[in-house]
Amino acid sequence: MEVFKRFPQKPHFHPLLKCKEACREGSALGKMVNFAFMVGRLPSCKLAILETYLIAFWRH
């Protein structure tokens, strides 16, 4: 994904250790896709919408 070239990440997956092994990769992939979606939406977001996305993202 292009977003990870523009905004390199050093993710840690410690919170996923509490998940069953079969779910870890899916959860990690979901978080990566969610991050890419949010970064793609940033240029066109209004502040209130951005705040809603960020709160939802950090709760998961």
Are 1 and 31 contacting, i.e. CB atoms less than 8 angstroms apart? no
**What pTM, to 2 d.p., does this model score?**
0.56
| In the chain, domain spans | 2-59
What distance in Å separates the CA atoms of residue 10 and residue 22, rounded to the nearest whole number? 22
25-59 pLDDT, tens digit each: 888 888 888 888 878 777 776 777 777 877 887 77
Tokens 């240029």 label which residue? 43
Enter the tokens of residue 20.
């069953």
